[in-house]
Structure formats: C-alpha cells, structure tokens
Amino acid sequence: MDAIEALTTRASPAGLVAPAPDSAALDRMLRAAMRAPDHGRLRPWHFIVVDGAARAALGDVLAGALRVRDPDLTEAALAKERAKPMRAPLLVIVAARLREHRGVPAIEQIIAAGAAAQNILVAAHALGFGGFWRTGAAAYDERVKHALGLRAVDAIVGFLYLGTPAGATAPLASSDAASHVSHWTGTVRDAGETA
Ligand SMILES: Cc1cc2nc3c(=O)[nH]c(=O)nc-3n(C[C@H](O)[C@H](O)[C@H](O)COP(=O)(O)O)c2cc1C
C-alpha cells in the first residue's frame, strides 16, 4: 500500500483480534512514530507497550482509578472499565513527557506526540493491521499516569488499540475537504471584525 492510499483509507475498525502486530511490525510502526514532526527535536513522546497478561493489570489500574473518581459506580460499570484493555491484543499508550522549554510550549510537545500516534495508526494500517485511538478520563487521571511510570505533568495523548481488524468495516466517512478549507487572498480583517 502506498503512503497516500494508507493515509486516505485508514479508519477505526469495529473490532480487533489476534494476531497483533509482531515485533518486526511493531518496530516499523514505532520507527514511523519517530518520524513525526517535533519542534526542537525534543522527542517528547514515550510509547508504553502493553500486551498479554499486562492488559488485565492495566484493566485493574483503569477500574481502580475510576472507582476513586466516582465511588458510587456499580460493579458492572467498573467491570466494563476493567475489560477495556482486552479489546485488542496489543496496546501502545502514547504519552508526551513534557519538559520546560523556552521555545517549545507544552502544547507543541503534545501535538508532536499526537502526530507520532497518528503515524503508528497509519503504519499499522499500511502493514495490514488496524487500530483505534481512545482517551477518556483515564488519560487525564494522575493515578493511571503514575501506575504507568509517568509523572502527573506528563500527558497521555492516546491509548492506541492495535490488532487485526474484525467484523465489517464501516464505510469510510467522507474525505471531502472542501468545507474545511478557505483560501486567504490577502484581505486583512480589521481588529474589531468578528470571524
Ligand atoms: C485525541 C483523540 C482521542 C480520542 N478519544 C476517543 C475516545 O475516547 N472514544 C472514542 O469513541 N473515540 C475517540 N477518538 C476518535 C476515534 O479514535 C476515531 O478516530 C473516531 O471514532 C472516527 O473514526 P475513524 O478513525 O474511523 O475516522 C479519539 C480521537 C483522538 C484524535
């Protein structure tokens, strides 16, 4: 699959099953991630690979953190949270390990990690695998970050679920970019004018 085809046909599969990307495929995906644009070459990203039994341990962490956030939740709700990492044979949690930098604010470091995450998803697709991106409150939960070896100031930009696509793939959403594009012709808007 060429790059443009991979970029224009990537979609989140309905489900993911084994086999997961093997170590050679994962290595290629992570090398693609490393090619994300990155202001200042800070390499702010960090990739936490979770597979096998560690997924159940991650589920315990997610459910434990959810219980603290909302002590009134039912066991069923906690069980649902606990089961989330089992939705795919492999997860890559993409984080930004933020650092103070005069010229590169935190948002740019987070964007760079997001671009790395997108490269992982597109590379997975190009290699015949599939993946989907999730966040939710767990991504912003300090207990979850701590359990994963991150600091409270770091950002989890995505839980990437990876595996082999299963089930019918939804038709691709429209790729018509026209309504998202404007051409600025040089007419400068007055400061008081609203957008
Ligand atoms: C930063 C980020 C966080 C996301 N978090 C969630 C999420 O928690 N739950 C969800 O259903 N979709 C989430 N999505 C969107 C899905 O991953 C997916 O892109 C969306 O459902 C559109 O489907 P597609 O990837 O097939 O175009 C997130 C996307 C991004 C970029």
Condensed to tens digits (0 to 9), the pLDDT of residues 7-62 reads 999 999 999 999 999 999 999 999 999 999 999 999 999 999 999 999 999 999 99
State the amino acid at position 155 in one-letter form. A
Pocket test for ligand 1, best of 84, 132, 144, 174 (most atoms within 8 A of CB): 132
Ligand 1, atom nearest to 170 Cα: 26
Give the residue among 158, 18, 142 at the shortest CA–CA distance from 92.
158
**How confident is the model over 131-183, as pLDDT tens digits?**
999 999 999 999 999 999 999 999 999 999 999 999 877 778 877 899 999 99
Q: Ligand 1 site: residues with CB under 6 angstroms?
A: 11-12, 132-136, 158, 173
**Bridge-partner residues for 91, per DSSP?**
50, 161
**How confident is the model over 96-120, as pLDDT tens digits?**
999 999 999 999 999 999 999 999 9
170 or 87: which leads in pLDDT: 87
Backbone angles phi, psi at 167, to 5 degrees: 80, 175
Pairing of strands 90-96, 45-51: antiparallel
Check: CB of residue 161 under 8 Å from CB of residue 86. no
121 SS3 class: helix
State the amino acid at position 101 in one-letter form. H
